[in-house]
């Protein structure tokens, strides 16, 4: 597509998006006047507090009306950039704005929408875009929504130099040269794996007593490409791990089947990364008989003593807990404060950590406070229409009885609920109720506010957790939601990025916004953890995609399945990997 | 549009301003000056997003652009095609809520 565009027109690009070419009228206008008229317009930019939309008014109380017909209630009123005359415009009808453009000498074609502060060419009858103009509008909106002291980063750079091309990191398979071959041969013993054409590393995990929650997550993690490469390339070697000497004792105790009484003391010596390394070695050894991750389970028990039992656990809770475990270990080695979001602290966060952006806007003055929070997964609500808080909020009160009805409504609207629908909801502006007013720094009182989440930085691997277990505080009981959720095999995260969210808030502008450095927002599904059964008793099964084939990993049993079975499964956790990494499981030619 | 047809062929600007504004205009001005219009628009925006109307329109727009080809569509074309569909598919509940809000405003403004 981009090569096509290069041949036809030399177009502007932002982040790989091709920008529309200016129409001849705008181009001529700019060459005659430069961007000076836009600067004059800046004094007329008004930003109305709730919502923070920009409009054009010479005086804040002005009621703009069409110069030809005196109409003020028309939805589309345009002010001529050259002479400031306001005219109405009706598509395909009599347009006073177009009439104005033609009745005047050339140069009156470009006008600005008084309610949206967007440029319009009356001759082409189409919206037009200009970077300088957009920059001025965004600057005014930003100034209105932030305190003078903290007017920093809603729009960080809008300089034209910030044009970036989308880069792609190509994968080059490593082929050892002679010397490397010798070194590899000398220092390693080859695996005598079987010669089946099953993907490497596909091995069942024995259930050690209600441990399917662990097996399901482990299967996903064992086949998480960046994590797999990290461990298989010996980046964390359990024989050289600094904690090893301490952990040895604990390991011997497992062998002797004694349970360590001082749970907390030994927890300090546990290195989950070492156990992960051992599990990787075992699973990728070429052996196909099911493996018992007993050592791993024991270490995790020591790490998370409160969850150490043979009871059923929540797979998502386990996932979070074990990532924390891996993080904590490395954290002590070389502690880097505040580095989780950047993901340079440990492999767990390098792979899974992203940054969420949360904007809370005061409904009275429009002041926006922005916070960034690191996250290792995104928890999404399944309920399509659940009253006020459709987000991560745990206060779910009034849904129970009309939940089904709401579901029906929404399914009429958009067919079936989808992962994209959940993400739309996650990033949708949410009005915080009067009971959770937010302290506005500008008003210095608690005000009603609007909250919006977006994704500032995408992780390498996105884990989506669907909240299927919900607690109703009214009924004082929990239940599981068995509703089907459709999830795509290929997911574009661009609409949920902070840059896109901000862009829509500022209207149609052609500027790069916060966090536009994303190289790739295309993700590909590689693992789905599913849950069947009830809240207190059920079973976890993982579907893995390896070499464009889906495999069902049900504890010790692994079976080849059709992708339609995966699509129909009740997803609880979905793992997506960035396509940029070129671990395209789907692009390899699979066996028929 | 009807207004522009009915207006005298050569409107005298001074005379026009002296002329008594119609009730509709008065209401509109009051709505704007009090900021109620902006609030109503914000409420409408919110409701239309909530009920899925916006997504539906977006999908229709995308389909239209795809059909016509990306470079052959202007905003005017889109507005022209979408306006009747959009008006027709606003849920009655949303209309009712807005009407109620406007009524309440008119009573409180005692126009």
- A–B interface: beta-carbon pairs under 8 A: 65
Tokens of A548: 């464009």
**Average pLDDT value for residue range A153-161:** 38
- CATH number of the domain at A2-145, please? 3.30.40.10
Residue A174 burial (10 A CB sphere; 0-12, 13-18, 19+) = exposed
C-alpha neighbours within 13 Å on the C-beta side of residue A417? 24
A151-158: long-range contacts, CB 8 A cutoff, minimum separation 24: A153/A370, A153/A514, A154/A368, A154/A370, A154/A502, A154/A514, A155/A502, A155/A511, A155/A513, A155/A514, A156/A514, A157/A512, A158/A131, A158/A134, A158/A511, A158/A512
- Catalytic residue, candidates A23, A122, A212, A440: A212
pLDDT tens column, A284-327: 888 888 999 998 998 888 888 888 877 788 899 999 998 888 88
Assigned domain for B18 exists = no
Q: Which of A316, A395, A466 is nearest to A307 (CA)?
A: A316
Total domain count, chain B: 2
Q: How far is A63 from chain B (nearest CA, A)?
A: 7
The pLDDT value given to residue A572 = 92
pLDDT tens column, A236-289: 888 877 655 454 555 555 544 444 444 444 445 678 888 899 999 999 888 888
* CB contact A433 to B (< 8 Å): no
Is there a contact between A377 and A351 (Cβ–Cβ < 8 Å)?
A: no
The pLDDT value given to residue A67 = 81
pLDDT tens column, A472-493: 777 677 778 888 899 999 998 9
Q: Which of A558, A540, A541 is nearest to A549 (CA)?
A: A558
- The percent of chain A in helix, strand and coil, each rounded to the nearest 5, is 30, 20, 45
List the CATH number of the domain containing B86. Answer: 1.10.246.140
pLDDT tens column, A118-138: 888 888 888 888 877 887 787
Q: What angle do CA B30, B34, B40 make, to 5 degrees?
A: 90
B86 and B57 in one domain?
A: yes
B83 and B96 in one domain?
A: no
pLDDT tens column, A59-100: 777 778 888 777 766 668 888 888 888 888 887 677 888 888
The pLDDT value given to residue A18 = 53
CATH code matching the domain that covers A212-334, chosen among 3.30.2020.30, 3.30.365.10, 3.90.70.10, 3.30.499.10: 3.90.70.10
Residues 107-146 of A with CB under 8 A from B: 120, 124-127
Q: In this predicted model, which residue has the larger pLDDT, A501 or A37?
A: A501
* CB contact A508 to B (< 8 Å): no
Residue of B43, B49, B50, B76 to mutate for A, most A C-beta atoms under 10 A = B76
Does B74 sit within 8 Å of A124, measured CB to CB?
A: yes
> Does residue B1 carry a pLDDT above 60?
no
Does A120 sit within 8 Å of B51, measured CB to CB?
A: no
Distance CA A93, CA A85 (A): 19
Q: How far is B76 from chain A (nearest CA, A)?
A: 5
B86 and B65 in one domain?
A: yes
The pLDDT value given to residue A34 = 75
The pLDDT value given to residue A291 = 92
B43 and B65 in one domain?
A: no
DSSP state at residue A165: P
B38 and B62 in one domain?
A: no
Does A126 sit within 8 Å of B76, measured CB to CB?
A: yes
Minimum-distance CB partner of B25 among A72, A124, A414 = A72
B85 and B63 in one domain?
A: yes
**With contacts defined as CB-CB under 8 Å, which chain A residues touch B46?**
429, 431
Distances (CA, A) of B101 to A388, A420, B41, B56: 20, 33, 11, 25
**With contacts defined as CB-CB under 8 Å, which chain A residues touch B75?**
91, 120, 125-127
A486 DSSP β-pair partners: A418
B71 and B97 in one domain?
A: no
- CATH code 3.40.190.80 for A353-578: no
B86 and B58 in one domain?
A: yes
**With contacts defined as CB-CB under 8 Å, which chain B residues touch A433?**
none
Could you give the residue range(s) of every CATH 3.90.70.10 domain in chain A?
A: 212-334, 353-578
Assigned domain for B5 exists = no
Distance CA B26, CA B41 (A): 18
Please tell me whether the interface predicted TM-score (ipTM) of this complex is above 0.90: no
Does A69 sit within 8 Å of B7, measured CB to CB?
A: yes
- Catalytic residue, candidates A124, A241, A365, A539: A539
Residue of B2, B3, B4 to mutate for A, most A C-beta atoms under 10 A = B4
A524 DSSP β-pair partners: A490, A577
B82 and B28 in one domain?
A: no
B31 and B83 in one domain?
A: no
Domain of residue B78 covers 52-90
B47 and B96 in one domain?
A: yes
pLDDT tens column, A362-378: 877 777 888 888 899 99
């Amino acid at each position: 597509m981009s090569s096509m565009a290069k041949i036809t027109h030399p177009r502007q690009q932002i982040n790989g998006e091709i920008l529309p070419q200016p129409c001849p009228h705008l181009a001529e206008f700019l060459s005659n006047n430069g961007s000076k008229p836009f600067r004059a317009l800046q004094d007329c930019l008004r930003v109305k507090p709730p919502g923070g939309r920009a409009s054009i008014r010479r005086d804040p109380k002005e009621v703009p009306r069409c110069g030809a017909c005196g109409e003020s209630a028309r939805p589309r009123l345009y002010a001529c950039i050259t002479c400031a005359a306001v005219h109405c415009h009706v598509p395909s009808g009599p347009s006073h704005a177009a009439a104005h453009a033609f009745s005047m000498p050339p140069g009156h074609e470009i006008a600005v929408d008084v309610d949206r502060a967007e440029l319009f060419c009356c001759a082409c009858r189409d919206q037009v875009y200009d970077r300088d103009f957009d920059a001025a509008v965004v600057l005014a909106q930003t100034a209105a929504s932030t305190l003078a002291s903290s007017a920093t980063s809603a729009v960080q750079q809008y300089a034209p130099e910030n044009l970036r091309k989308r880069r792609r990191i190509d994968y080059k398979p490593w082929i050892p040269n002679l010397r490397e071959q010798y070194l590899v041969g000398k220092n390693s013993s080859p695996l005598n794996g079987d010669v089946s054409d099953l993907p490497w590393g596909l091995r069942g995990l024995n259930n050690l007593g209600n441990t399917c929650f662990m097996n399901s997550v482990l299967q996903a993690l064992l086949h998480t490409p960046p994590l797999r490469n990290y461990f298989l390339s010996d980046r964390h070697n359990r024989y050289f791990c600094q904690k090893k000497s301490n952990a040895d004792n604990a390991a011997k105790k497992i062998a002797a089947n004694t349970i360590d009484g001082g749970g907390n003391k030994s927890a300090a010596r546990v290195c989950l990364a070492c156990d992960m390394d051992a599990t990787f070695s075992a699973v990728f050894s070429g052996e196909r008989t099911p493996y018992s991750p007993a050592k791993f389970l024991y270490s995790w028990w020591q790490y998370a003593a409160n969850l150490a039992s043979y009871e059923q656990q929540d797979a998502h809770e386990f996932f979070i807990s074990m990532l924390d475990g891996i993080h904590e270990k490395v954290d002590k080695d070389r502690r880097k404060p505040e580095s989780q979001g950047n993901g340079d602290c440990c492999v767990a966060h390098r792979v899974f950590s992203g940054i969420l952006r949360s904007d809370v806007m005061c409904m009275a003055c429009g002041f926006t406070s922005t916070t960034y929070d690191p996250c290792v997964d995104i928890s999404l609500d399944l309920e399509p229409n659940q009253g006020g808080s459709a987000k991560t909020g745990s206060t779910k009160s009034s849904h129970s009885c009309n939940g089904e009805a709401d579901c029906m409504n929404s399914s009429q609207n958009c067919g079936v609920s989808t992962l994209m629908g959940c993400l739309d909801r996650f990033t949708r502006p949410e009005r915080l109720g009067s009971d959770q007013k937010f302290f506005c720094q500008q008003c210095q009182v608690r005000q009603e506010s609007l909250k919006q989440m977006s994704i500032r930085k995408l992780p390498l691997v996105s884990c989506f957790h669907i909240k299927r277990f919900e607690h109703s505080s009214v009924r004082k009981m929990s239940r599981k939601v068995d509703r089907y959720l459709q999830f795509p095999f290929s997911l574009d995260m661009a609409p949920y990025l902070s840059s896109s969210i901000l862009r829509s808030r500022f209207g149609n502008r052609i500027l790069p916004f916060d966090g536009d450095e994303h190289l790739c927002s295309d993700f590909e599904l590689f693992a789905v953890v599913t849950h069947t059964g009830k809240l207190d008793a059920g079973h976890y099964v993982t579907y893995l995609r390896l070499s464009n084939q889906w495999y069902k990993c049900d504890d010790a049993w692994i079976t080849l399945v059709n992708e339609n079975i995966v699509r129909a499964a009740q997803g609880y956790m979905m793992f997506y990997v960035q396509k940029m990494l070129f671990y395209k499981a789907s692009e390899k030619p699979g066996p028929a | 549009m009807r207004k522009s047809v009915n207006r005298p062929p050569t409107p005298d600007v001074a005379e026009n301003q002296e002329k008594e504004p119609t009730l509709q205009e008065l209401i509109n001005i009051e709505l704007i000056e009090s900021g109620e219009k902006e609030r109503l628009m914000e409420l409408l925006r919110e409701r239309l997003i909530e009920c899925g109307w916006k997504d539906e329109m977006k999908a229709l727009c995308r389909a239209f652009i795809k059909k016509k080809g990306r470079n052959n569509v202007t905003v005017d074309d889109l507005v022209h095609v979408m306006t009747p569909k959009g008006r027709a598919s606003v849920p009655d509940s949303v209309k009712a809520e807005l009407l109620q809000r406007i009524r309440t405003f008119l009573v409180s403004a005692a126009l």
